[in-house]
Amino acid sequence: METLEAIRTRRSIGKVHPDKPVDKSLIETILEAGMWAPNHHHTEPWNFFVQQGEGRRPLGKTLRKIAVESMDSEEERSDDEQARKLAKKEEKPFRAPVVITVVVEPATKDKVVDIEEYAAAHAAVQNILLAAHSLGLGAIWRSGAPTYHPEMRRLYNVSERGGVVGFIYIGWPASTKKKEQRRQDIEEKTTWMNEDMG
């Protein structure tokens, strides 16, 4: 698949076959694509946590724990409907056979700017998504408030300067139907600066 075609045709695919395994060699190919993301000062500030099988359980338990913390009272926690919601939270990582958590750990070198390290980790995520797409796999980059919670940082042993940048759920697509998407016209997002306007 050509690069521009991969960029244009990639979609976030959340519905994959949860029990259909993805070969380890494919995951390694995908991770290698992540490793080739641009990064200032060659710091390679990312770490990848590949979770499969029951290895997804700690993520599920952490999502549940964070959800419990956000509830107001013991009564609310014991309600049957809430119990079902909490169980659903814990099962979230099991929607895909592979979950890759991407963590950024900014380097301690002089001149390293933390926001650039985060940008590099985000670029690694995009490379991973494109590689998965090019191999016929479905993938989606998930995040949200629990991603940045102290419990999530603890799970992945993230430093004070570092952070979890997201969870990439990967599997074989449950459907071949793709949503048609449009982007805004490039003119709406581009300013051409060809002269000194100052």
CA distance 138 to 130: 10
In the prediction, which pLDDT does 198 show?
Answer: 78
pTM: 0.93
In the prediction, which pLDDT does 74 show?
Answer: 63
Confirm or deny that 64 is annotated as ligand binding: no
Confirm or deny that 141 is annotated as ligand binding: yes
Question: How many residues belong to the chain?
Answer: 198
In the prediction, which pLDDT does 164 show?
Answer: 99
Confirm or deny that 11 is annotated as ligand binding: yes
CATH superfamily of 13-53+92-176: NADH Oxidase (3.40.109.10)
Going from N- to C-terminal start, the domains of the chain cover 13-53+92-176
Residues 6+ apart with CB under 8 A from 97: 16, 17, 18, 19, 20, 21, 22, 52, 170, 171
Low-confidence ranges of the chain (pLDDT < 50): none
In the prediction, which pLDDT does 173 show?
Answer: 98
In the prediction, which pLDDT does 73 show?
Answer: 64
Burial of 114 (0-12, 13-18, 19+ CB in 10 A): middle
CA distance 72 to 79: 12
In the prediction, which pLDDT does 81 show?
Answer: 82
CA distance 22 to 131: 14
In the prediction, which pLDDT does 20 show?
Answer: 98
Burial of 172 (0-12, 13-18, 19+ CB in 10 A): middle
Confirm or deny that 12 is annotated as ligand binding: yes
pLDDT tens sequence across 126-176: 999 999 999 999 999 999 999 999 999 999 999 999 999 999 999 999 987
Confirm or deny that 143 is annotated as ligand binding: yes
